[in-house]
Amino acid sequence: MAQVPLFTKIFLGIFAIALTSVLPVTASAQANSDGWEVCNETSYIIEAATGRYEGQGVVVQGWKRLRPGACEKVIEGELQPGIHYLFGRSSTAHRGGRKVWAGKSNLCIDPTGSFAVENIPNCSVMGLESREFRPVLIENSKRWRTSFTETDKRNLEQASAAGVQRLLDNAGVYSGRIDGYLGRKTRAAIGDFLTSKGLDANTSDADLMDILEQTAIERARNVGLTFCNRTNKRIWSAMARRRGEGWESRGWWLLEAGGCARVIDEPLLQAGLFAYAEMETGDGEIRTLTKGSDTFCVSKGKFAITGREACEEAAYRAGRFVATPAPVNRKLVFEFFERDFGDPIDAS
């Protein structure tokens, strides 16, 4: 039977699901064939990496791309019961920087492309980077399923619908709720998008998501503020700008070595933007920018702070931000280099 595209299906009895930023991973022994299957029950395209014990070491492998609502086999055939490891990161098509699904177990990955390596204590020796994987206890030698989830649960069909909505929004052709319900507004946006691309109305769900992803990635290059990390270390970035009659600071956006994140998603119409970053050293210390000229408030966790005065009195801390160049053609790419950071200081 031919597949019916998602946007032509009629959904009955689907409740609207509110999106949150808490992104746990759950597991169950429900799968249809031998091996370890990973499913994406979120509204994001996820790139997954896994780790498994072989002999005395752990082999780490990536990246397996999972569309919203899709499941992929990450290990084929009979499984070795015991601890395995899983890490996920969102596609660069999604706004606001990469989201991660992680844990506390450090393993080596190659952030730039496909890889399969035996884990070592010092990832940088092999030109790799360390990420915090989540342990997954596999208890069945035949089959196991693990799901990436958001706090509010979605089944796979709802996740697929929410994924299309998010990609439509990221591509700039839809503005509405990411609720997993393809109502009239969402279906109209899909129809308009397919027409604009000269595509058939029966385009498959998978093809639709792939085309939307590439459109969103291209759009990200053309507007807004993007931070890029030109160092070989992981850094955490923040921005500040004028909002109405006052000021606002926001953070944090994680920038992997060589990676970028779009921190403002709309066209930039004026100057007056400021950047801040803290570099991880791997020794419990951080390095901060040396040429910061303007003070704004920052917080230990994710933050959006109005105002820039008396940071400590408000239980924040002060950070010295750098003024960025003026945007050109509504966009700006601001790069952090090794030379921009000072000596290490105690992060505590």
Predicted confidence pLDDT, tens digits, the chain (348 residues): 334 444 433 332 322 223 233 344 454 444 457 999 999 999 999 999 999 999 889 999 999 999 999 999 999 999 999 999 999 999 988 877 678 999 999 999 998 889 999 999 988 888 888 899 999 999 999 999 999 999 878 999 999 999 999 999 999 888 888 999 989 999 999 999 999 999 999 999 999 999 999 999 888 777 788 999 999 888 999 999 988 788 999 999 999 888 888 888 777 877 789 999 999 887 778 899 998 889 999 998 889 999 999 899 989 999 999 999 988 888 899 999 999 999 887 766
Between CA 184 and CA 177 the distance in angstroms is: 12
Are β-strands 331-336 and 224-229 bridged in parallel, bridged antiparallel, or unpaired?
Answer: parallel
> For 256-278, b where at least 16 C-beta lie within 10 A, e where not — what string?
beebbbbbbbeebeeeebbbbbb
Type of residue numbered 285:
E
Between CA 183 and CA 320 the distance in angstroms is: 46
pTM over 0.75? The answer is no
What are the sequence ranges of the domains in the chain?
A: 20-148, 156-220, 224-346
Between CA 295 and CA 242 the distance in angstroms is: 13
What is the per-residue pLDDT for 348? 61
**Residue 88: Cβ-neighbour burial (10 angstroms; 0-12, 13-18, 19+):** buried
What is the per-residue pLDDT for 19? 28
Scanning the chain, the segments in alpha helix (DSSP H) are: 156-170, 184-196, 205-220
pLDDT digits (tens, 9 = 90+) for 59-82: 999 999 999 999 999 999 999 999
Task: List, in sequence order, every beta strand (DSSP E) within 77-231.
Answer: 82-90, 100-101, 105-109, 115-118, 129-138, 143-148, 224-229
